[in-house]
Amino acid sequence: MYSYPDVVAKIASDYLERVKSQLRLVSAHEQGDFLREIESHLFEAYQQTPGEDDVARILAVLRNFGEPAEVVADRLPGAMVRSGTKHNLPLYVVGGILIALFGLPLGSAGAGVLVGLLAAVAGILVAYYAVAGSFLLVGALTMLIGLTRILLPQLFDRLVVLGYIQLGGPVGEFLDHFSPSYQGLLMILFASVFAAAGLGMLWLGRYLLRGLRFLFSLTFDWMRRFAQRVRRKLRQDNREAPQLGKVSFVKQ
Amino acid sequence: MEYQDEGRDRRITQLRKGILELAVMGVLYDERHYGYSLVRVLSESGSISLKEGTIYPILARLDRDGLVRSEWVESDQGPPRKYYTLTSSGRQLFDALSQELDVLVSLVQQKWKVSEQSEHARKKLVVRKG
């Protein structure tokens, strides 16, 4: 690539590859033209950027130039901007398979099966969030108990005597090996694991929610179109029925 | 209450981006330029400091709308350069847009004048009270 040092050429060509990958929906001619133009810009900017460290120079040039997505923004046809569509593709496929398997061959019975499936998935989602909530609750309570053990050991003992805190069995035996402060610390550690698990589940739940929302909208859209088709057919039949009656009356 | 820096910066960037297309047309009005030289001219003027790559979507848009004409020219200093020139319809549009901008700028300045006048009147009232 002209008089670039090898390492700079590699960085520049990587950048151009990234731009190229964003231009997949553009014609080959336009793609080539655009890449040549950027290549020319990068080369000249590199030559004009002072410094002895070649890598730092080309990185400064690329930083000033901007991210590929910003650069190609107006090169893509409006409807083909890829953000989002790529991520939804697997869900479209799943939705399509569900409709093809259950909706099309079985008609309204298939729709019933689909609704049932969606209800089951929604149930799973509710259960999922319930578990996440339980984890968070257990984490918070255990942390509170741990803090009580460290800061207010008398209160902790009183709660044990009253039966509000029950630490029998192997857990109690295990904790008896440590001092009250260590017991508290262990409880806080245990609580942190639960809290982290709960928060992690909540975070992952976003994807589940998004997927379910998509499946619901896909199914309802399909059902709405199906209902419209049925309504249109019924209207057509109604329109034809009185005409037949009229014809028979005239004939009489 | 102070307006948050992030929101202010975003709005300044939007304002600059909005004006950038007009600035590009202004630079190409009398002289042809290629992307890099255009960026240099714009950044030398001082007030416009955007990512260099943002110039290309603007040039692409102007090209698509027939407001600029482009041609590749060989260069002895490196790869060929794509030069842009403003077309006659580009010039007409630039004239119309710059007139529109003048109106907007005077509108904004008018607001300043009004606030200056009201400040002046308030001071007068204070003097009379004293």
Question: Of the candidates A37, A74, A75, which has its C-beta nearest B35's C-beta?
Answer: A37
Closest CA to B53 of A84, A75, A81: A75
Could A66 and B79 be called an inter-chain contact, meaning their C-beta atoms sit closer than 8 Å?
no
CA angle, residues A219, A222, A226, in degrees to nearest 5: 135
Could A47 and B57 be called an inter-chain contact, meaning their C-beta atoms sit closer than 8 Å?
no
CA distance A23 to B62: 19
Element (H, E) at B69: strand B68-73
Alpha helices by DSSP H, listed for chain A, are 6-22, 28-48, 54-65, 68-72, 85-98, 104-106, 108-151, 153-162, 169-175, 180-251
pLDDT surpasses 60 at A76:
no
The question of ipTM being above 0.95 is answered as: no
Could A2 and B36 be called an inter-chain contact, meaning their C-beta atoms sit closer than 8 Å?
no
pLDDT surpasses 50 at A250:
no
Q: For position A98, what pLDDT does the model report?
A: 65
Structure confidence by residue, pLDDT tens digits, A206-227 = 787 777 777 777 777 777 777 8
Structure confidence by residue, pLDDT tens digits, B29-74 = 989 999 999 998 888 866 566 788 888 888 988 998 999 999 999 9
CA distances from A30 to A34, A72, B69 (A): 6, 12, 15
On whether any CB of chain B is under 8 Å from the CB of A216, the answer is no
CA distance B42 to A167: 73
Is pTM beyond 0.80 here? no
3-state secondary structure A120-149: HHHHHHHHHHHHHHHHHHHHHHHHHHHHHH
Question: Regarding predicted confidence, which is higher, A24 or A158?
Answer: A158
Q: Sign of the CA dihedral B114, B117, B123, B126?
A: negative
Q: For position A251, what pLDDT does the model report?
A: 41
Structure confidence by residue, pLDDT tens digits, A18-64 = 888 888 777 888 888 889 999 999 999 999 888 888 889 999 999 98
Please, what is the average pLDDT of chain A?
A: 78
- Token pair of B54 as six digits: 């943002």
SS3 call for B31: coil
CA angle, residues A152, A156, A159, in degrees to nearest 5: 140
Q: Which residues pair with A211 in a beta bridge?
A: none
Question: Regarding predicted confidence, which is higher, A247 or B4?
Answer: B4
